[in-house]
Amino acid sequence: MSDFGIPQFPVARPRRLRATPALRRLVRETRVSTDNLVMPLFARPGKGVRRPIASMPGNFQLSVDELVKEAREIHKLGVPAILLFGIPDKKDAKASGAYAKHGIVQTAVRAVKDAVPELLVITDVCNCEYTSHGHCGIVHKRRDGALDVDNDATLELLAKSAVSHAEAGADIVAPSDMMDGRVAAIRRALDKTGFEQTPILSYAAKFASGFYGPFRDAAESPPQFGDRRTYQMDYANGDEALREVALDIAEGADIVMVKPALAYLDLVRRVKERFGMPTAVYNVSGEFAMVKAAAKNGWLDERTVVMETMTAFRRAGADIIITYWAKDVARWLAV
């Protein structure tokens, strides 16, 4: 007993449980699994096309035949899902390629589902890759003379795209446009056309971010004027992000996403704790590219940093991690 009558116990030593790899594995609180991973892929017209994306080493714009080969490899590695983006051969003001029956995404979905039916195919539902101006919807002139995206006119295009993806065989549709009311519009359209069981993964809290730069090269979708700050979120606003997520859930979202991931882990935790919904993060192109560049220069070890990052996503509350490292992580986990 101490002078104060407090029993004396041996001092706790947390390091005891860090002494060996086996002990560390035994008490590990957060685990990353291939089950958590989604691999983004970029489909483009042509045959035998495997065009490197310079700012995203190891990633390519793929023709459908090459994309099917990639899908087979991804499935073999145990990654359960891919997220498809399309790069059409023609663009116009109404994004007609986004909802064309034989559009690039629709064609890619059918090919992948025919070749690898067990692989989940998630389709990005947006217009920026398909519009001649690079914005996410129908552009109109506001009263002050400025050009902007017409929210309500865009909803019809998004709904048409989502239905066309479901008709092609998409397992999940993922609206990324940040138009108000788009989840409700897509849900109504899917239900009306017999796709009541098709889930919606909503880019619920998508921020106007500097981390998207390489993606716009990959998807060939930079805006031709202005930027996307009138519809994507201000990165300073956390409470607004929760309101956006709540609205999408009320409109019928089955999975919600926070994008980007690394700079927004506080919001991933808040979303998961507040709503308890299946929660995704998008480990975006800029996050990928900066690690690749640092690793190339020998400034850090890529595998160590990537696995630490994936664990951070899971620790924050993410159930689903969309990442360009999905194949690498699957290989590393298998060792």
The domain spanning residue 150 has which CATH number? 3.20.20.70
3-class SS at 139? Answer: strand
pLDDT at 253 over 80: yes
Half-sphere exposure of 143 (CA within 13 A, CB side): 0
Out of 78-92, 134-148, 259-273, which region has the weakest mean confidence (pLDDT)? 134-148
Q: Which amino acid is at 151?
A: N
Specify the pLDDT at position 21.
93
Using alpha carbons, select from 131, 135, 186 the residue that is nearest to residue 158.
186
DSSP 228: S
Q: Is residue 14 part of a domain?
A: no
3-class SS at 320? Answer: strand
DSSP 137: S
Question: Taking all residues of the chain, what is their mean pLDDT, rounded to a whole number?
Answer: 93
pLDDT in tens, 47-71: 999 999 999 999 999 999 999 999 9
Sequence-distant (6+) residues with CB within 8 A of 83 are 38, 39, 40, 41, 122, 123, 124, 174, 322
Q: Is residue 111 part of a domain?
A: yes
Enumerate the H helices of the chain as residue ranges.
21-26, 64-76, 104-115, 151-168, 182-192, 213-218, 238-251, 265-275, 285-296, 302-316, 326-334
Q: Is residue 4 part of a domain?
A: no
pLDDT in tens, 21-45: 999 999 999 999 999 999 999 999 9
Q: Is residue 2 part of a domain?
A: no
pLDDT at 217 over 80: no
For residue 123, give Cα distances in angstroms to 197, 271, 330: 15, 23, 22
Query: Quick one: how far is CA 43 from the chain centroid?
Result: 16
The answer to whether 139 and 147 have CB atoms below 8 angstroms apart is yes
Number of structural domains, the chain?
1
Specify the pLDDT at position 9.
65
pLDDT in tens, 278-315: 999 999 999 999 999 999 999 999 999 999 999 999 99
Specify the pLDDT at position 218.
77
Q: Is residue 328 part of a domain?
A: yes
- pLDDT class for 216, splitting at 50, 70, 90? confident
Burial of 214 (0-12, 13-18, 19+ CB in 10 A): buried
Q: DSSP for 29-61?
A: -----GGGEEEEEEE-SSSS-EEE-TTSTT-EE
pLDDT at 181 over 90: yes
Q: Is residue 74 part of a domain?
A: yes
- Percentage of the chain beyond pLDDT 70 is 95
Specify the pLDDT at position 6.
63
CA dist., res. 178 & res. 245, Å (int):
11
Specify the pLDDT at position 281.
98
CA dist., res. 222 & res. 106, Å (int):
22
- pLDDT class for 133, splitting at 50, 70, 90? confident
- pLDDT class for 325, splitting at 50, 70, 90? very high
Specify the pLDDT at position 115.
98
What is the separation, in whole angstroms, between the first and last Cα of the chain?
50
Specify the pLDDT at position 4.
60
Specify the pLDDT at position 146.
73
Q: Is residue 1 part of a domain?
A: no
- Percentage of the chain beyond pLDDT 90 is 79
Q: DSSP for 204-218?
A: EEEB--GGGHHHHHH
Q: Higher model confidence: residue 141 or residue 230? A: 230
pLDDT at 144 over 90: no
The answer to whether 39 and 81 have CB atoms below 8 angstroms apart is yes
The answer to whether 226 and 147 have CB atoms below 8 angstroms apart is yes
For residue 81, give Cα distances in angstroms to 164, 211, 225, 273, 277: 19, 23, 34, 25, 19
CA dist., res. 149 & res. 155, Å (int):
11
Q: Is residue 262 part of a domain?
A: yes
Domain that holds residue 47: 30-334
For residue 250, give Cα distances in angstroms to 45, 181, 246, 253: 37, 10, 6, 7
Q: Which residues are catalytic?
A: 206, 259
CA dist., res. 3 & res. 95, Å (int):
79
Specify the pLDDT at position 98.
92
The answer to whether 1 and 7 have CB atoms below 8 angstroms apart is yes
